[in-house]
Structure formats: structure tokens, C-alpha cells
Amino acid sequence: TLNVNFTLNEQLNSLNGFFNIKVLNGKQFLNFTGVEFDCKFLGTLYNHYLINMVAINLRSFSNFPIGCPLKKNHLYYMKDFKILTNMVPSYIPELSFETYASVFHKKRLVIVIKTGGKLRRK
């Protein structure tokens, strides 16, 4: 599980960033998918299947907004985040993965989230 808490020193009316998923192929991780995003894109997450799966899952464990602004002095959290297996299509095999998200505000890096794990079938 993953837990994150943060507050911002200033309101973010705009932002941009990158989200990447890598999967283990043999002994090295290969890019599986990656998307650049901004405030406008955050409102369209549900149009992209894999990103939609992550976004729906994330929303069930957090109070992260799906658009801008991100408020100053507001506690944003993610509590006990895990991938819900019913969200993962049955055709996706067991695999190891890494994710990386970076968020920029006015060309300044303000958030980095790196995760990794294994998808296992019961």
C-alpha cells in the first residue's frame, strides 16, 4: 500500500507533468505507457483506458482533485492505496511494474511520486 500526505504553500491554478508506467521484461523495465498532462487533461483522464483505471483507483483512496486549482494549505492525501484486482483486465498477465509521476508549476518541479510493485492473480 502507498500513503501520501501533502499541503501546498501556494494555490496551483495551472500545472503540467508526466506520468509513466514501466513493466519488467526480463531484467530491465521497459516503457509501457506515458502521458503528459496539464489541468485540462486531468479533466479528461477517463477517456484513456489505462490512465482511467489508475485514476478511478486513485480517487477511491484519496482526495486528489481531477482538475485545477489545487488549493493552498489544503491537506491532500492518499491512504492505503493499492491496485484493486477487479479493475485490471483478466488478459493482463502477472507482472512487475514501476510508475513515475512528476508535476511542474511555472516550470518548477513541485511533486514527484515513484512507486513499484507486482501484479499477482489469486
Report pLDDT digits (tens) over 26-80.
999 999 888 898 888 776 666 677 777 777 788 889 998 878 999 999 999 999 9
Where does the pLDDT of residue 2 fall: very low under 50, low under 70, confident under 90, or very high at 90 and above? Answer: confident
**DSSP label of 13:** S
Where does the pLDDT of residue 96 fall: very low under 50, low under 70, confident under 90, or very high at 90 and above? Answer: very high
Domain locations along the chain = 2-119
The maximal CA–CA distance of the chain, rounded, in angstroms, is: 44
Which phi and psi (to 5°) does residue 15 adopt? -160, 165
How much is the pLDDT for 46? Answer: 62
Q: What nine digits make up the cell of 32?
A: 509501457
pLDDT above 70 covers a percentage of the chain that reads 94
Q: What is the CATH number of domain 2-119?
A: 2.70.220.10
Sign of the alpha-carbon torsion through 69, 70, 72, 75: positive
